Amino acid sequence: MLTFIGLGLYDEKDITVKGLEAVRRADIVYAEFYTSHLMGTSIEKMEELYGRKVTVLTREDVEQNTSWLSLAKEKNVVFLTGGDAMVATTHIDLRLRAIDMGIDTAIIHAPSISSAVSGLSGLQNYRFGKSTTIPFPYTRRDKTIISEAPYDTIKMNRRNNLHTLVFLDIDREKGFMRIGEAVSILMEMEERRGEGVLVNALAVGIARAGSDSPVAHADYLEKLKDYDFGRPLHTLIIPAQLHFIEAEALVKLCGAPQDIMK
C-alpha cells in the first residue's frame, strides 16, 4: 500500500490526526521537500512526533529513480509532502505508476497554500484562475534567461478577470525565492514585453502561512518589492478586478491602500 500524506503548511504539527495515525502505522516513511518545505520544523522533530525514521527523497528519486516504489507491494509505505500532496505537484504520476504496479494507493489530505491564501487575503477562492511558478533566472552563454510563462498566465487570468496565485521557486542551490525577487522578475518581464499587464497592478504577498505570525500584505507591485516580509516561504497573488468585499478585506486584512475601495 502507498499512502500520500500531506503535512500541511508550517511545522510537524500541521499534519491531520488521520495522517499522523497513518505515519505511525507505516513500515516505511518517505518524504520530499523540493516541491514545498515546512520551515518551522526539522526532520528530527518530525521523527520524534511521528515515531518513525523519515527518509528524504530527491526530485530524481521521485521523478526518475522510482525503484523504491516496489517496496509498497509488500509493505505499508507512506509518502509525505508539504501542503497537500496533490496540489501544485506532479505526484499524480507516482500514484499512477504505483497503480500500474498493482499497488493500492490512498491520499490523506492536509491544509494547502492554495486554500490558505484565500483565508489570509480575503480574496474569493472561486475567482482564482490557473496558478503559475516564478523560477529563478539562470545564465546561458552570458545571457540571463527569465521564463515568461508567469507573465502569460497572469495576462490570461486578468483577461478573464481571475486572480493569479504565483508560487515562488525552491531551488537546491539558490534557496527559497522571496517576494522582492519575484516582483523584480515580474517588473523585468513587463519591461521586456511592454504589454501593460502589470502596470499599476496591485499585488498581495503572503509569508509563512500556517505559522503563528503569517504576513499578508497588499500594495502596488513596485511598492511591494521593498516590503520586509521576513523569512520564507513566500508566495504572491496578482488580483483581478476586485469585488467590493474583496477590496475591503485587502484594506482591513492586508493593509492595502484605501484608494482601491473607490
Ligand X SMILES: C[S@@+](CC[C@H](N)C(=O)[O-])C[C@H]1O[C@@H](n2cnc3c(N)ncnc32)[C@H](O)[C@@H]1O
Residues β-bridged to residue 15: none
Strand 138-140 relative to strand 143-145: parallel, antiparallel, unpaired? antiparallel
- Which of 81, 118 has the CB closer to ligand X? 81
Contact 168, 235 (CB under 8 A): yes
Binding residues, by number, are 9, 84, 87, 112-113, 168, 209, 234
Please calculate the CA angle 225-114-227 and round it to the nearest 5 degrees. 15
Binding residues for S-adenosyl-L-methionine, by number, are 9, 84, 87, 112-113, 168, 209, 234
Helix (H, G, I), strand (E, B) or coil at 73: helix
In the chain, the amino acid numbered 191 is: E
Q: Does 208 bind ligand X (CB under 6 A)?
A: yes
Q: 3-22 as b/e, with b when 16 or more CB fall inside 10 Å?
A: bbbbbbbbbbebbbeebbeb
Q: Does 233 bind ligand X (CB under 6 A)?
A: yes
Say how many CA atoms lie within 13 Å of 75 toward its Cβ.
Answer: 14
- Which of 84, 246 has the CB closer to ligand X? 84
In the chain, the amino acid numbered 30 is: Y
What mask, x for binding ligand X by CB under 6 A, covers residues 118 to 157?
----------------------------------------
φ, ψ dihedrals at 41, nearest 5°: -150, -175
Count how many residues are written for the chain.
262
Least separation, in Å, of the C-beta of 27 and ligand X? 24
Least separation, in Å, of the C-beta of 44 and ligand X? 20
Q: Does 190 bind ligand X (CB under 6 A)?
A: no
Q: Does 88 bind ligand X (CB under 6 A)?
A: yes
Q: How many residues bind ligand X (CB under 6 A)?
A: 25
How big, in percent rounded to 5, are the helix, strand and coil portions of the chain?
40, 25, 40
* Segment interacting with ligand X, rule: CB under 6 A, options 56-64, 112-120, 152-160, 240-248: 112-120
Query: Which three cell numbers mark 94?
Result: 507516482
What mask, x for binding ligand X by CB under 6 A, covers residues 162 to 181?
-----xx-x-----------
Q: Does 19 bind ligand X (CB under 6 A)?
A: no
Least separation, in Å, of the C-beta of 176 and ligand X? 7
- Which of 202, 233 has the CB closer to ligand X? 233
Least separation, in Å, of the C-beta of 4 and ligand X? 11
Contact 209, 120 (CB under 8 A): yes
Q: Does 113 bind ligand X (CB under 6 A)?
A: yes
Please calculate the CA angle 251-255-258 and round it to the nearest 5 degrees. 50
The only residue of 77, 234, 239, 250 in contact with ligand X, by rule CB under 6 A = 234
- Which of 82, 239 has the CB closer to ligand X? 82
Name residues contacting ligand X, limited to 26-45 (CB under 6 A): 35-36
- d(Cα 159, Cα 28) in Å, to the nearest integer? 47
Residues that bind ligand X (CB under 6 A): 9-10, 35-36, 81-84, 87-89, 112-114, 167-168, 170, 206-210, 233-235
